[in-house]
Structure 1
Amino acid sequence: MAITIGVDIGGSHISSAAVSDGNFKIVPGTYFSGAVDSKASKEIIIKKWAEIINQTIQAIEGGQELNGTIGIAFSMPGPFQYQNGIAMFEGNDKYEALYNVSVADELSKYLSEKDVSFRFLNDASCFGVGGALKQGVKAGTNKVIAITLGTGFGAAFLDNKLPVTQGSNVPHNGCLWDKPYRDNIADNYFSTRWFLNQYEKSTGQKLTDGVKEIASIENYATAKIFDDFADNLSEFLTPYIVDFDADLLVIGGNIAKSNRLFLNKLGENFKKQNISLPISIIENTEETSILGSSYLFNEAFWEKIKAELPYF
């Protein structure tokens, strides 16, 4: 690829940036982002995506004509057919206008450059790959579990940067959000709505600004919520960490920005289970996902994963 562009698609945003093939860093001046109405029509959504990506393309061009194909790699939430680039959003309250739509075919109509190639990977996996790349070459960090804590609960299991989605040592599809925990599923315990529900139960008050708002209220009630969160998360993750024999836990997402309120307790809980596991907090989750998606145009990496891209 002459140029690689990484794109992070969220439930209400898109971010795009060019990534240097040499050092896997975002090229200065090429990062752009914008809000997206995920309930809008197909045309409005695709045009908004193209608008942001075109800003990155124009920043790279700098008024000069590009030679060669532009590789555009997407960090894309599911459900999605990652091998052929077809969106399968249905019944999940976001981007449903794109159901059964080829993102590559539709997006190509609105991009300022036509010589482009598209590749897609699950957003949680992209964050995990990006998180692993950020660690650099460190001894003993081959097996990484990466989780994102925010509106939803994302997870990826990586062995030498390769997402692992099947096998006896990982959960089905390499996902954790849908796995049973206590009286429900994990997504309902390790997401923003759990914090909001717990705060309302504890104080009788409703908050609207998410975990950041709760973190700013320093009292017994909020301290207990974060302690309970750390207890729940360590209890839930422990068997998966043991089964995968993980060397590193990477945590991102908006909730990770409040890590000062739960990280110590989380680490202490792991030690009580005889798990000595380094924990890396990544606060710039979108940029990390962009870096991870761009790695799809590392041909050696792509050859290893392209035949096993998840269909969900």
Structure 2
Amino acid sequence: MSNHLMLALDVGGTFIKGCIIENHQIRTSTIKKYHTYSYLDADAILNNFKLIIEDFFYQYLRDHNKKSINRLNIGFTFPGPFDYQNGISYVKGVGKFDTLYEMNIREEILKRLLAASLPVNDQIKIRFENDCRLFGIGVSEELSEQKLICLTIGTGLGSAYLEKGKILKDKKGIPPEGYLYQVPYKKSIVDDYFSIRGILKLALSKGIDIDRYNTVKDISLLAKEKDNSAIQTFETFGNNLAEMLEPHIQSFQPDKIVLGGQISKSFDLFGNPLRKVAHQNNSDAIALKDELYYTFKGIDLIFNNNDH
């Protein structure tokens, strides 16, 4: 039995989802959800991170009847802007994590874990990465020889370009860092159209009462009940997505476009225009509903393969 522990933590503005990874297997039975408390002062947010790590850590010791472990690896997804290599947050002005601005979160968490005297004999390593990149790395393990554009559509649009399992950041034919969210589109930028707020704005323009139907799931249920306004909302969203992505598909020529995130669960309602554009460019478009699994898989892989 391995004597080291890996924890995966997916940090959002409202909730943190975490799990234990053991021998490269996601232990789905250990997945838990915690409040982030991202609106509190820095000390409270960082102490909350520490308590969550301790919760998983001591659960692992109890489950395996251990008194200590040799090594502890902790992988975080974290919202941007963020210096992922150095562990420094630059999130500001959104009402979440403002108090962590320009703070070295890796050092602060490590300091608290060391002060708590966790029974780790050797070392504690902490790494951070963008959630969509981790999703893409997790997906690419199953599609290792392929060129991929991976998208997560939720609070905003996350994107990652990969080739043979490696993240691409500055290759010809891709936007800087592989980030599509800030690319100009129509009257604004991509992020304003391809996000939860984007689809709600679109629903409002189609006459849907978004005070009553205020989630993508609500609108997708309306569409499945044959509500014309909801059906048109998803059709327009799908046409826009295909239009926005077409030049990027043509310039990068991926084997697949892979979607994750909350909106991807409604792919059957909006995916046909994107599939059509993909097929016209010798590609394919698919949606994976278990984004969290692939994100956690990506965390495991960044610790075991330094090429990412």
Same fold (TM over 0.5): yes
Which residue of structure 2 aligns with residue 37 of structure 1?
A: 37
The answer as to 2:22 corresponding to 1:14 is: no
Deviation at 1:204, TM superposition (A): 5.7
Describe the superposition over 1:15-36 as per-residue Cα deviations: whole angstroms up to 9, x where unpaired: 2222234xx4312433222122
Match among 283, 286, 308 for residue 289 of structure 2: 283
Q: Partners of 1:238 and 1:177 in 2: how far apart?
A: 15
Which residue of structure 1 aligns with residue 180 of structure 2?
A: 176
114-123 or 172-181, larger mean C-alpha shift: 114-123
Q: Partners of 1:6 and 1:214 in 2: how far apart?
A: 32
Q: Partners of 1:69 and 1:132 in 2: how far apart?
A: 27
Q: Partners of 2:240 and 2:216 in 1: how far apart?
A: 16
Q: Partners of 1:152 and 1:93 in 2: how far apart?
A: 16
Deviation at 1:47, TM superposition (A): 2.2
Q: Partners of 1:282 and 1:48 in 2: how far apart?
A: 31
Structure 2 contact 181–191 (Cα < 8 Å) conserved: yes
The code of the aligned residue for 1:125 comes to R
Structure 2 unmatched runs, 5+: none
Which residue of structure 2 aligns with residue 210 of structure 1?
A: 215
Identity among equivalent positions (%) equals 28
Return the TM-score normalized by structure 2: 0.88
Q: Partners of 1:279 and 1:191 in 2: how far apart?
A: 18
1:66-145 counterparts in 2 under 5 A?
66-111=68-113, 113=118, 115-133=123-141, 135=142, 141-145=145-149
Higher relative contact order (CA closer than 8 Å, sequence separation 6+) = 1
Deviation at 1:197, TM superposition (A): 1.2
Which residue of structure 2 aligns with residue 240 of structure 1?
A: 248
* CA 1:194–1:136: 2 relative to 1, 3 Å: closer
Describe the superposition over 1:148-199 as per-residue Cα deviations: whole angstroms up to 9, x where unpaired: 0111110000112211111212111110000011111000110111111122
Which residue of structure 2 aligns with residue 197 of structure 1?
A: 201
The code of the aligned residue for 2:40 comes to A
Which residue of structure 2 aligns with residue 308 of structure 1?
A: none
Q: Partners of 1:30 and 1:206 in 2: how far apart?
A: 35
Structure 2 contact 81–91 (Cα < 8 Å) conserved: yes
The code of the aligned residue for 1:209 comes to N
More strand by share: 2
Structure 2 contact 106–126 (Cα < 8 Å) conserved: yes
Match among 249, 270, 273 for residue 262 of structure 1: 270
RMSD of aligned Cα (Å): 2.0
Deviation at 1:65, TM superposition (A): 2.2
Structure 1 unmatched runs, 5+: 306-312
Match among 156, 160, 164 for residue 156 of structure 1: 160
Structure 1 contact 170–240 (Cα < 8 Å) conserved: yes
Q: Partners of 1:5 and 1:204 in 2: how far apart?
A: 42
Structure 1 contact 251–280 (Cα < 8 Å) conserved: yes
* CA 1:149–1:163: 2 relative to 1, 3 Å: same
* CA 1:33–1:110: 2 relative to 1, 3 Å: farther
Structure 2 contact 157–194 (Cα < 8 Å) conserved: yes
SS at match of 2:206: helix
Q: Partners of 1:30 and 1:54 in 2: how far apart?
A: 14
